[in-house]
Structure 1
Amino acid sequence: MAPGRRTRFDVAVTGLGLVTPAGTGVEKNVKRVWAGESAAARTDELSGTAVDFSCRVEDVDPAAALGRRAALRMDRVSALGVIAARQAVADAGLDSTEWDGARVGVVIGTSFGGSATFEREHRTCLDEGPALVSPTLMVMAPVNMTAGYIAMDCRALGPNQVVSTACASGTTAVGFGRQLLESGMCDVVLAGGSEAALTRTGMASLHKMGALSRRGDDPARASRPFDLHRDGFVAGEGAGVLVLERMADAAARGARVRARVSGFGASADGHHPSAPDPAGGGAERAVRAALADALTTPGDIGHINAHGTSTPLGDIAEARMIRRVYGAHPAVTSTKGAIGHLIGAAGAVEAAYTVLAVERGEIPPTANLTRQDPDIEADIVTAAPRRAPLRAAASHSFGFGGQNAVIVVTAA
């Protein structure tokens, strides 16, 4: 919260772009996620590995969407991010050929960047020699390139930033985007996250550390947040971008405001490289900071889009923190049951889902939750969407390294 703040600083969410395992575009995501339909399936690229399933984006061809030459210069993580950004700008009713690009910022969260390109070129270097390594490696693999390509494609010439706070990256990006607007540095910010790290090496490491579900006999039911029989997350890929504007600017141009981002909080556990603080102290600090920033109380929050990864330790720690901070009343869901864990993009996509829940007055269910863990005392939405007028909702994101980020979304 800004020191001495007496009034809340709301930013308008005027556009959404979604490229996820549930589909490309808002309508496809609402149709599948709100139906609790799982996108997990066997993945050809992972064939023969210990965990050969994931949640992939299946309905996007970067070459068709961006042009073959442009797509060849981008790792998949950047291509998905650019496609989501284009959608978000169009959804906001903006035209990037007409705006003052110097007043448009970009903040993108990612954890791995162009890891698929790096793995490919590393293999080339080992197998065929360094002379055959592509010079494009250095404009495809670095984590900053997704934001850079979005700037080039959308003529967004203001501050251009990447944040990397592991699985909290997308939420952190939305929070920092709001701060750019409050500072006056930008009039429009494209904020979100992108990830495309379903590589054999990365997945092998996640498997060896025990993070992934091993339910390979039934991939569609493997991601089951808050369920008694959860055994790990299902890795996914995708991108989500939100167009953020000051409320006065959105009103001046007659824009549709889907919802508002009214608060942001962040913290560190300082506990363990991969395990959550079992007491949930860091997560609680982020939640309370976001609520204070939004000048909102726990009792005002009607819905929580939980981090809810489907891991035994993570879900119980978050659920206990929710009970302690919010009490029993908020309707909780984890959309990772439907689309898996999108790592650095997760928070951005879930922020978009929280915006949609507030806008629609309808909370999506937690897919695959058939028997709630009796140690989880929370009102988890299951089986079907729940109608509920929402004044305020929260979206939680917690990452490896103990990095936490939370936003508060309020009704327009």
Structure 2
Amino acid sequence: MDLFQHSINVILKNQHPEGAYIASPSFETYHFCWLRDGSFIAYSMDQVGQHASAAAFYRWVGRVITRYAAKVDVLEGMLKRGERPDHTAILNTRFTLEGFEEARSDEGEWGNFQVDGYGSWLWGLAEHVKKTGDLALLLELVEPIKASVRYLQLVWQLPNYDCWEEHPEYLHPYSLASIYGGLIAVAAWSALPQLADCTQRAEALAGEIKRFLATYAIHEGRYIKHLHPAQKGQLPKPVLKSGVDASLLGLALPYAVFDLTDPIVETTIQSVEKDLLLPGGGVYRYKEDVYYGGGEWILLTAWLGWYYALTGRKDQAREMLKWIEGTAAPNGDLAEQVSDHQLAPEHFEPWVEKWGPVASPLLWSHAMTLILQKAIEG
């Protein structure tokens, strides 16, 4: 099985005609498109030369944001009045493949207020334009770009769900890093008169977020998973019990808030390796993970391998890829996680009873594997 070509085929086959990427075609709960997943999937398509696929996704996001941009006005009004934003004011993290908000009755259980995807799509769009030189697409998306920047200005200090759709009571360095990555990408478009005011605001806010992370998101020499938001005169502070999380890779790669060789980044990676990398295996999300028993995540293993490839550790990157290849189903599909060495095996069956078997294929897993393969080649 040629996993490289199979991964491309899985992604292209499961892209909706409108441009959305379904998270997993065989897992009903994931029959939506997340901006977070989709941005990495589109990035992988650009890495392998499937630029039309990536462009279709960014156009889809642009249409979605345009459809719901009036919510940003509602949000601004609520915040000015000191009201807590509700579903009428926040932009969702996931949408139907046709580009609409999904109808669910369990918003409290599976909240939609996650801000990282709106940074991710700006970052991914910028990478697409760098790769293709498609300024026409950029100009086509001026209004949703502006709406995204305005939205991120309003929400970045509000507690929201993290990238694992948990802990809505906190701020999350990964999410803030994704916002930084998107804003700093927008700031680079200052030569475009259509975005002149927007790029200035984006650059200023990106700098503020970087200072915020450097000031509040460090504990014991490494970056931390969650932050208590500022409230009633109290400054933000780390949630000390939150430990290390593999998503903290994002602070350096791809969002480049801090350099790959930044000492605190390196200490954070060492914590990931010590606490979350199974020797000879894959990477866990975090030590307390109970979702489907807390298995090793293929996309996170590829992400760590990507970091290795870009920091001169190609042999370790190849080890990550070899492990991933060994997890593939006979048809080449890659799952969300591998259940051979679970952190909390007693939680596996309850999740299977609730939602069925582990999602497979997961398009984000295939995307990150493609990214890793191209990074090793590079």
TM-score bracket for the superposition, by shorter chain length: 0.3 to 0.5
TM-score under structure 1 normalisation?
0.31
Q: Which has the higher contact order (CA 8 A, sep 6+)?
A: 1
Higher helix fraction (1 or 2): 2
TM-score under structure 2 normalisation?
0.33
Higher strand fraction (1 or 2): 1
